[in-house]
């Protein structure tokens, strides 16, 4: 997706961004309005209509239990996006707190926190999440907690790196000399500088988390039947891949489209913030975004 964006001229890139945002908004609205838009109850089992093709009554047909595919996709949007937002925002809050503490305090606190993070980072994140779920049992709550634990570490490290860089900025030193207290230092100088790069990370992360949720639900560790979730739907549809491929293709396409749109937007946000400010050239504000991008690409 990124490559695709880079070959476009800046004007077209802007249109691509606007289009992506519009589509994203449309998906969010559809998800929120699922109760009104969905033609059927997503969990209503009706064997009389099982595995039917598209019709006026069932626009995308029905699955092996006779449930309306379109309705399940619509409700699935709520599940995927809602869970992803819950996970990412929890990670953001926890990561900010932990990373700030480690970065600002430095010394032993920093060492201890970072060693703990390294221990978690030593495992590939999805495998660690799977192990945690294996201990706690499958289910969306367990999955959410496992993903939060695994992901927060990246946020904490990222924030700590940014805080460490910021701490050395001359203007932070100058503020200290002029008597600025640690609390004001945080609220006036550090947090405002952390938010833009964090926003970029978050917009890219949501897409990844949606993939993780789908993957875990696909293998049966995350969202459980009968709740409509795209990864779980692919799993249920896999027995019918030859006779009724749309049962897998439809939720697969939703995941692909949503993640692709989120990536386009996240990328564009990163680019704008990176090149937009004239100060970057003059004052070398600190390469925070370069770090942001590096950390994000390290992550996967």
Partner 1 sequence: MSLLVAERLSKTYHASGWFRRQTAEGSAISNLSFTLEEGTCLGILGESGAGKSTLGRMVLGLLPPDEGRLTFRGEDLYPKGRRTRRSWRRDIQVVFQDSYSAVNPRMTIRQIISEPLRNYERQSAQEERRTVAELLELVGLAADDMLKRPSQMSGGQLQRVNIARAIALKPKLIVLDEPVSSLDMIVQKQILHHLRALKEKYGLSYLLISHDVMAVHYLADRVALLEKGTLVDTVDASEMFESGHPTFRAMMQAAGVE
* Contacts to partner 1 by CB under 8 A: 111, 169-171, 173-181, 184, 188-189, 192-193, 277-279, 282-285
Detail the DSSP E strand segments found in the chain: none
Instruction: Look up tokens 């590096």; give the residue.
Output: 294
Choice between 105 and 174, CB closer to partner 1: 174
Minimum distance between the CB of residue 287 and partner 1, rounded to whole angstroms? 12
Name the token pair of 149: 């634990």
Nearer to partner 1, 170 or 243 (CB): 170
Number of neighbours of residue 173 by Cβ within 10 angstroms:
11
Say how far apart CA 52 and CA 68 lie, in whole Å: 9
Residue 141 or 184 having the CB closest to partner 1 = 184
Nearest-approach distance from CB 133 to partner 1, in angstroms: 33
Give one word for 277, left, alpha or beta, with left for phi > 0 and alpha for psi -120 to 50. Answer: beta
Dist CA 85 CA 263 (whole Å): 15
Nearer to partner 1, 3 or 108 (CB): 108
Please identify, using beta-carbon distances, which residue of 176 and 246 lies nearer to partner 1: 176
Least distance in Å: CB of 123 to partner 1? 22
Q: Tokens 């639900």 identify what position? A: 217
Nearest distance from residue 171's CB to partner 1, in Å?
5
Give min distance, CB of 101 to partner 1, in A.
18
d(Cα 218, Cα 213) in Å, to the nearest integer? 8
């Amino acid at each position: 997706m990124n490559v695709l964006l880079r070959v476009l001229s800046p004007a077209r890139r802007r249109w691509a961004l606007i289009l992506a945002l519009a589509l994203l908004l449309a998906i969010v609205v559809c998800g929120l309005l699922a109760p009104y838009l969905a033609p059927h109850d997503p969990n209503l089992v009706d064997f009389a209509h099982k595995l039917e093709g598209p019709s006026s009554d069932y626009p995308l047909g029905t699955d092996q239990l006779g449930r309306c595919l379109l309705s399940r996709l619509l409700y699935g949007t709520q599940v995927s996006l809602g869970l992803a937002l819950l996970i990412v925002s929890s990670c953001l809050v926890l990561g900010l707190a932990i990373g700030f503490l480690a970065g600002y305090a430095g010394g032993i606190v920093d060492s201890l926190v970072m060693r703990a993070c390294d221990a978690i980072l030593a495992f590939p994140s999805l495998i660690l999440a799977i192990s945690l779920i294996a201990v706690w049992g499958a289910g969306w709550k367990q999955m959410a907690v496992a993903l939060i634990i695994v992901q927060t570490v990246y946020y904490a490290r990222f924030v700590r790196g940014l805080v460490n860089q910021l701490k050395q900025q001359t203007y932070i030193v100058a503020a200290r000399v002029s008597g600025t207290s640690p609390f004001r230092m945080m609220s006036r100088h550090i947090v405002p500088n952390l938010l833009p790069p964090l926003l970029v990370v978050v917009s890219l992360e949501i897409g990844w988390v949606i993939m993780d949720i789908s993957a875990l639900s696909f293998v049966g560790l995350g969202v459980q039947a009968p709740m409509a979730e795209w990864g779980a739907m692919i799993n249920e549809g896999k027995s019918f891949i030859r006779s009724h491929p749309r049962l897998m293709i439809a939720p697969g396409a939703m995941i692909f489209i949503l993640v692709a749109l989120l990536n386009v937007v996240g990328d564009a946000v990163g680019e704008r913030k990176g090149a937009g400010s004239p100060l970057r050239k003059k004052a070398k504000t600190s390469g925070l975004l370069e770090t942001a991008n590096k950390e994000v690409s390290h992550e996967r």
